[in-house]
Amino acid sequence: MTNPYLEPARVRAALRSLDLRPTRAMGQNFLLDAAVLGAIVGAAELVPADTVVEVGPGLGVLTWELVRRAGRVVSVELDARLAERLRAEFAGEPGFTLVQGDILRQSPEQLLQNSQEPKNESQPSPGGSQFPAPGPRYKVVANLPYAITSAALRHFLEAAPPPALMVVLVQWEVAERIAAAPGDMSVLAHSVQLYAAPEVIARVPAASFFPAPAVDSAILRLRIRPQPAADVPPAALMRLIKAGFLQARKKLANALPTGLAAIGTPLDKPRALAALAAAGIDPDRRAETLSLAEWARLYSQLEGAGSEEPGARL
């Protein structure tokens, strides 16, 4: 059976019936490309044992595919008009739950507790076998609203429990930044790669949506790590990384003392140089060139220095 929510005429008619004009602020761009939809579903590696959390289902084009492949689907929609329509459209689907609200205010644990039981728990799922997640097991599959992409990723990656796998549509440039390698790193890349291994599956042209956004998108897959990539406190490590990027165009010898001072952690240049040397990092490098492992070594050196001199601890 063909997905009925891919028909442009049906999408336009549904929007008219709801008196809904898609807005950029709400990220309301409705996918109409069957090939892209198939790539999303394929990347999610779904089996009947899976529980899926969907963010921003809209009119239900991705929801329709998810409920046919997963045991449980919990869709979270902010727009009350769309939420009411989705409840009616998918009322007969076993294992489907619709939550009307802001995903950033919804605890994944609570979403899973309040949803229905799965249709089939007998099959293992390959999606997170390499990077298993503790606690209730679920995947996130979503066409994320552009405006909340970073916040939504952090919401799930830092959650207890985190998902086993995430497959999301995001802006192309955002996907490139997240999947970057040392030499082109950013705070966003580190904040994601600390918790997950990113992979850009495909580029999605703007013409695949109605209305077409101003930029292309990407299908991004995140396989969640069993433990953070660095064996240091994640929140403290990210504070150090953010400090290092506050003046990203400067060499670390100068950027690090200034950035740490800006977050209330005074560190003079001689101690910064000593910590960089002890961590094996050239002080003439810039923040974008460091790997997570190097930031972690630098963090450990700074913490060691802070044990001797007050005010340096992160």
Q: What is the pLDDT of residue 305?
A: 58
pLDDT of residue 25: 62
112-155 confidence digits (pLDDT tens): 987 755 444 333 444 443 333 445 689 999 999 899 999 999 99
Question: Taking the mean position of all CA atoms in its chain, how far away is CA 52?
Answer: 14
Which is higher by pLDDT, 127 or 83? 83
- Convert the pLDDT of each residue in 155-209 to its tens digit: 999 999 999 999 999 999 999 999 999 999 999 999 999 999 999 999 999 999 9
Q: Where are the alpha helices (DSSP H) in the chain?
A: 8-17, 34-43, 61-66, 80-89, 108-114, 149-157, 172-178, 187-193, 234-245, 252-262, 269-278, 292-306
Give the burial class of 310: count Cβ atoms within 10 A of its Cβ; 0-12 exposed, 13-18 middle, 19 or more buried.
Answer: exposed
Return the pLDDT at 28: 78
Q: What is the mean pLDDT of residues 15-21?
A: 90
C-alpha neighbours within 13 Å on the C-beta side of residue 235: 2
Claim: this prediction has a pTM higher than 0.85: yes
Query: Of 136-150, 190-204, 248-262, 299-313, which range is least confident?
Result: 299-313
Q: What pLDDT does 191 receive?
A: 97
pLDDT computed for residue 121 by the predictor: 38
Q: Is the pLDDT of residue 307 over 90?
A: no
